[in-house]
Structure 1
Amino acid sequence: MRELLILVKRHMYVYFADKGNIVFTCLSSIIVVMLYAFFIFDTQVDSLVAAMAGTDRTEAVTFVCTWFLAGQITLIIFGATFNAMAIFIDDMKYNGSDVQIFPLSKVKIIVSYCIQAVLIALLFGIGSLIIGTLLIWWQQGYLIPASSLFAAVGVIILGTIFSAILAMFIVTFMKTAKAFSSVQIVLNTLMGFLIGMYIPIGTLPDFMQKIIFWNPYMSMSVWLRELLAGEQFQQLFDKAPSAQQDQLAVFYGLRAESFDALWSTSDLALFIASITVIIFAFLLVSFAKKRYTR
């Protein structure tokens, strides 16, 4: 265990030694927020106010802010875990001997990189949750309930574990950091749409919605939206019939639906956990067939 912790500490040191990488990681998140605020935010609020007669604009703004925050946290978790895993490629190509000096099995070496990615993603994910919550409180005077925030931290922990294992699985097929970076850019561009972050998922064609709801990152985003934006959603649509509320919840990505059935929180947790276990099993098989150095 001591060797494992030392190896994790070593990975963390290597990651944070690259200050430029950290700056650009934070900057990319800020740019996404600014682009959304300048080009999409007002349009979405206006359409929400127009669709629901008598809707208070302040409540609509607060809902959209909390709704967007959930998607932003999901995207940050994805980006942070994949970005952190680039260390593995450099180690296997250039610094394999640094890792091999530790008397650890292949499984523990995998776990060390995954733990490093989880810790980094937790730092960015929980940090974004805190900053976003405080900004919404400052701008809108609305404070997300403490119970929802604590539950959101639990979702972030589960989501980072899944994302780290997925990133580790994908990185085993990459031979260079440049190739992995290209894959990450493509996935990061698509992910904003695959989790319904920029526009409500209900605006997409029906067949795309059915596919996207099986994306574990979408499940994570749905869960976070239900926690962070659920209270504002109820205030906005409290006068709507129950059946219509369910439809609107699916439309805005606060509930997941498949085969005409709504997913519960337990369903979301079980789905993410199951996919995590399956990918980890494939990861062990894939890593067992590879050498430490390439």
Structure 2
Amino acid sequence: MLALIKRNCRLYFRNHSGVLLSLLSAGIAFVLYLVFLKAGMHREWSQLPQTDQLLDSWLIAGILVLTGISTTLAGLGQLVSDRERQVDRDLLLTDVGPVRLELSYLVSATIVGIVMQLAMFAGMWGYFSFTDGLRFSGAQLLDVVGLMMISAGLATVVNALIIARIHTIDNFGKLATIIGTTTGFLVGLYLPVGSLPTAAQTLVKLTPGSYAASLYRQVLMNDTLNTVFAHISIAQNDFERLMGVRINWSGLLTASQTYQIICYILVSCLLLVLIPVWRQQLQWRR
């Protein structure tokens, strides 16, 4: 299985144009923020100290989730390509088996998602560190790396479930375009979650990536939020609800509750992806 994981990763990173295209939606979101969104949001929150640091961290969180979703989906494109060209059938002639073959695609896509999130984070942090003096502690960086793994894993299994019935690269490309276009809105990147209509907010809450974005924001913005609001909980809660720092159901979710929801979604989607493959393996052995 390790050889298949290496193969899939090598095929992804060797396609330089494909790598750049998988980052296109994240790059567009970054440019849109700098050119159009930042000034308006800065005016809205100008009464707060360290506004630039708050908004920069908020943006980085959303773009990391968007990057994880788009790049893991691109990484899973190899699965669809092999399926269309029936390469997967050739691979099954070895001793790999359907389950391990499927896992090799999932693991390689997760690795792609982690690496590309690291690259985007380094680029964005470097830019905002130079322009706005944005700083993160060592503990925050460790938490972010851990979240990259969770976010990439979550995006991979959700994407794998979505493309389960996709058998051609043409249809996969169309689906990837739709996902890349809508994801920025669904994770509260282009507009703060609290400013959306009720129906749109509900749709955001039903999007797995919004919970990953929430955790990223809590980690990246925590120190600045505590400094800005000086532990004035009511004002801080209002800001967190409006900006999607914490997801609001009957109340604002804690980090622990958000982690639990992500784990439930991840495990459920993984089972939904692997159970049909496991059944196929049982039939294949017979």
TM-score normalised by the chain length of structure 2:
0.91
Instruction: Answer yes or no: is 1:247 the counterpart of 2:238.
Output: yes
Q: Is the 8 A contact 2:186 2:203 kept in 1?
A: no
User: Quick one: distance in 1 between partners of 2:168 and 2:134?
Assistant: 46
Aligned to 1:272: 262
> Against the structure 1 CA distance between its residues 278 and 262, is the aligned structure 2 distance closer, same or farther, given a 3 Å change threshold?
same
Q: Tell me, which stretches of 5 or more residues in structure 2 are unaligned?
A: 282-286
Moved more, 209-218 or 32-41: 209-218
Structure 2 CA distance for aligned equivalents of residues 28 and 235 of structure 1: 32
1:1-294 pair list within 5 angstroms: 4-49=1-46, 52=47, 55-56=48-49, 59-94=50-85, 95-238=87-230, 241-259=232-250, 261-288=251-278
Moved more, 98-107 or 33-42: 98-107
Q: Check whether the contact 1:91–1:99 (CA below 8 A) recurs between aligned residues.
A: no
How has the CA–CA distance of structure 1 residues 7 and 72 changed in structure 2, closer, same or farther, with 3 Å as cutoff? same
**Cα deviation per residue 1:5-56 (whole Å; 9 max; x = unaligned)?**
011111112222322111333444323211221111111111111xx3xx34
Secondary structure at the counterpart of residue 103 of structure 1: coil
Residue type at the aligned position of 2:127: L
Other structure's SS at 2:114 match: helix
- Tell me whether 97-106 or 159-168 shows the greater mean CA deviation: 97-106
Letter in 2 for 1:123: V
Where in structure 1 are there 5+ consecutive unaligned residues? none
Q: Distance in 2 between matches of 1:290 and 1:176?
A: 20
% identical aligned pairs? 20
Kindly report the root-mean-square deviation, in angstroms, between the aligned alpha carbons of the 2 structures.
Answer: 1.9
State the alpha-carbon separation in 2 of the partners of residues 179 and 288 from structure 1: 25
Q: Is the 8 A contact 2:29 2:190 kept in 1?
A: no
8 Å CA contact 2:98–2:280 kept in 1: the answer is no
CA–CA separation in structure 2 for the residues paired with 1:169 and 1:214: 15
Distance 1:163 1:25 in 2: 14
The CA deviation string for residues 41-96 of structure 1, in whole angstroms up to 9 with x for no partner, is 111111111xx3xx34xx11121111100000000000000011011111112123
Matched residues in 2 for 1:137 and 1:174: separation? 42
- Inter-partner Cα distance in structure 1 for 2:277 and 2:96: 14
Distance 1:288 1:226 in 2: 37
TM normalised by structure 1 equals: 0.89
Change (3 A) 1:191 1:142: same
Aligned length: 280
CA contact (8 A) 1:66 1:225 kept: yes
Cα displacement (A) at 1:263: 1.3
Deviation of 1:98 after TM superposition, in Å, equals 4.2
DSSP-derived class of the 2:45 partner? helix
Shift of 1:197: 0.5
Give 1:65's aligned amino acid: D
Q: How far did residue 126 of structure 1 move?
A: 1.6
